[in-house]
Structure 1
């Protein structure tokens, strides 16, 4: 199936899916920017999950993935992928997937990818992207046109540990979308702080957050905690809130298609992750004029937060300091308002117009 148009470039964006997380949201957002700027985009998806608004054609390998995804079904998907790349003269490939199967990745990059490709690394946990098989790794990644780290720390890690050609381009936010949605009415009649993220794994450390919140003075000031997100660990966290006797102040509201009015109306947003890539929730909160409190995990928070200017940044694992920061941000009104007044301006550089143009410049630099 040939999908090419008469636009200036035909770009394949390869993603796990277009739902759920910041990496997937960025793939969708980038496609909207590229199509608006006369580029033709084809999304190639591993899983049949589409939630975010996007632009371009879609080759959805997830639709032909059987329940058990056995050998012959995998061969069928490889054939569809092979025929897609053979039929379409893509000018370049932007590959945002995580990678866990070394030989599969070798096959894809050698037998299917037939044009310059860029690998995007969205997490400081780079083991999700780079195979531990050094023999195969050299044959997979040394031929990538460039490996893109979405934070400076990720980019430095790629260069120092793996010795691959890399470049820093952060993920983006779309201020026009945020501004259109953040003023929607919100039926909440109490003051609250906010945490946003997946509960499928313990990376966000919501158990730590609940314990720190229970030891803070926020409840005594009638400040609640709202958590947006879903996953298999939610029931565990709900039980923990009950065990800590804070269930009347903690609200598990699930995933929301519009988180922006929750950001706007929060006193501040908190992030307690073990690791990140470049945490979108911090950018989105600040874009809504809401300051942030975050552990300085690897990576991203210290590239986004200027301490005591747009938020508070805390040494990783230092729960006592984090509790103190929660209390301080409520009690010190001058500090809080100073950070709140600086919030929006601190993230204007991450608007999709700015980041999208960096991608266009990258393609131009490589003669594409």
Structure 2
């Protein structure tokens, strides 16, 4: 099949990585795949295989007033429709709610099936009333709404069950170890590593993680917290780190192109998010042999982790509970090993080839 994937950008993020993995995986199964982004190629973090046709539109940008916004979005719809039609796809897959709305509107009147992918928990994500209303109006035009977890899918109970599907994001990690890559100089190889990963945004709640770690940092001075990622809250988080007196016991090196060798070198992973759609980093950490502590978000982590069997779940934004969970596992290597063994037994359902099977089963409806 000729398949076109549409997404806002290929900047660092779970949805963007999922789209890249899907695109490259489908190519290996003899599909002709193109990937269209609203943003220009200069914003890319993830690199695509040359076998995937890359179409960066560069039609992003902020509008100065509501009239300009309407005009700009109409222009985006025209360019997006023309671009997609030029690729002559048999099927379009769109990621993330704003791009989903634009893609559905752009293809009104087209006979091409459009599948939209919801990657975050809609009730927790900050969405303007206008975009929320647009979503409720145009999502019924989609051939299928694919949610990345059952928790996300539950939000769309106002849509017919035949229009909904749950397909988890795929798991694919490199086989490199820490010996194969350069370790950032701030990382102390003599210490044990507690690792977190994600955009430095309010959603990821790294402020809560820093406060929780500060409560146990002195007791566990042989541990270092590594927060891998970049985002608009870097300044605030750096200031909080200083106020808490954490010094070099906490390191925030920014985006790491290939974090998996560093994950394999670590001892424990923590996800502190206020909300998630799925929690890609959880399965990636598990695949790299790390035990995981996660907040029990409204969707995602509880579908991956069996609490106190394959990991630990703690209440969202509960500093005390998170600190206690970290202290428990930092002091219990036997418990960490138990979680690793149990977690890896359940990872097969997320492996790329199994997820590709699910998508191809869905495609059969549109041949």
After TM superposition, the score normalised by the length of structure 1 is 0.86
Specify whether residues 59 and 247 from structure 1 end up closer, same or farther in structure 2 by C-alpha distance, changes over 3 A only.
Answer: same
**Counterpart Cα distance in 2 of 1:94 and 1:115:** 11
Give, in angstroms, the shift of residue 135 of structure 1: 7.5
**Counterpart Cα distance in 2 of 1:283 and 1:360:** 22
**Counterpart Cα distance in 2 of 1:341 and 1:133:** 43
1:232 maps to which residue? 232
CA contact (8 A) 1:218 1:326 kept: no
| Cα shift readout 1:223-253 (whole Å, capped 9, x = no counterpart) | 1111111122112111111111111311111
Secondary structure in 1 aligned to 2:220?
helix
Specify whether residues 87 and 101 from structure 1 end up closer, same or farther in structure 2 by C-alpha distance, changes over 3 A only.
Answer: closer
Which of 89, 103, 107 is the matching residue for 2:105? 107
1:3 maps to which residue? none
Secondary structure in 1 aligned to 2:98?
coil
Specify whether residues 341 and 145 from structure 1 end up closer, same or farther in structure 2 by C-alpha distance, changes over 3 A only.
Answer: same
2:193 maps to which residue? 192
**Counterpart Cα distance in 2 of 1:151 and 1:101:** 17
Secondary structure in 1 aligned to 2:55?
strand
Secondary structure in 1 aligned to 2:203?
coil
Secondary structure in 1 aligned to 2:316?
coil
Please tell me whether residue 28 in structure 1 is matched to residue 20 in structure 2. Answer: yes
1:4 maps to which residue? none
Deviates more, 1:161-170 or 1:88-97: 161-170
Specify whether residues 266 and 115 from structure 1 end up closer, same or farther in structure 2 by C-alpha distance, changes over 3 A only.
Answer: same
Which of 11, 24, 49 is the matching residue for 2:3? 11
Secondary structure in 2 aligned to 1:328?
helix
Which of 44, 47, 70 is the matching residue for 1:53? 47
**Counterpart Cα distance in 2 of 1:359 and 1:117:** 13
Please provide the CA RMSD for this pair: 2.7
Which of 162, 167, 175 is the matching residue for 1:179? 175
Give, in angstroms, the shift of residue 309 of structure 1: 2.5
Specify whether residues 330 and 38 from structure 1 end up closer, same or farther in structure 2 by C-alpha distance, changes over 3 A only.
Answer: same
Specify whether residues 353 and 182 from structure 1 end up closer, same or farther in structure 2 by C-alpha distance, changes over 3 A only.
Answer: farther
**Counterpart Cα distance in 2 of 1:97 and 1:107:** 14
**Counterpart Cα distance in 2 of 1:65 and 1:233:** 22
Deviates more, 1:19-28 or 1:87-96: 87-96
Alignment of 1:204-283 (within 5 A): 204-216=204-216, 219-283=219-283
2:290 maps to which residue? 290
- Mark the runs of 5 or more structure 2 residues left unpaired by the alignment: none
How many corresponding residue pairs? 352
Please tell me whether residue 125 in structure 1 is matched to residue 117 in structure 2. Answer: no
Deviates more, 1:47-56 or 1:296-305: 47-56
2:317 maps to which residue? 317
After TM superposition, the score normalised by the length of structure 2 is 0.87
1:141 maps to which residue? 139
**Counterpart Cα distance in 2 of 1:131 and 1:119:** 20
Secondary structure in 1 aligned to 2:247?
coil
**Counterpart Cα distance in 2 of 1:100 and 1:81:** 10
Give, in angstroms, the shift of residue 68 of structure 1: 6.5
Give, in angstroms, the shift of residue 266 of structure 1: 1.4
Give, in angstroms, the shift of residue 357 of structure 1: 1.1
Secondary structure in 1 aligned to 2:141?
coil
Specify whether residues 357 and 180 from structure 1 end up closer, same or farther in structure 2 by C-alpha distance, changes over 3 A only.
Answer: farther
Give, in angstroms, the shift of residue 259 of structure 1: 0.7
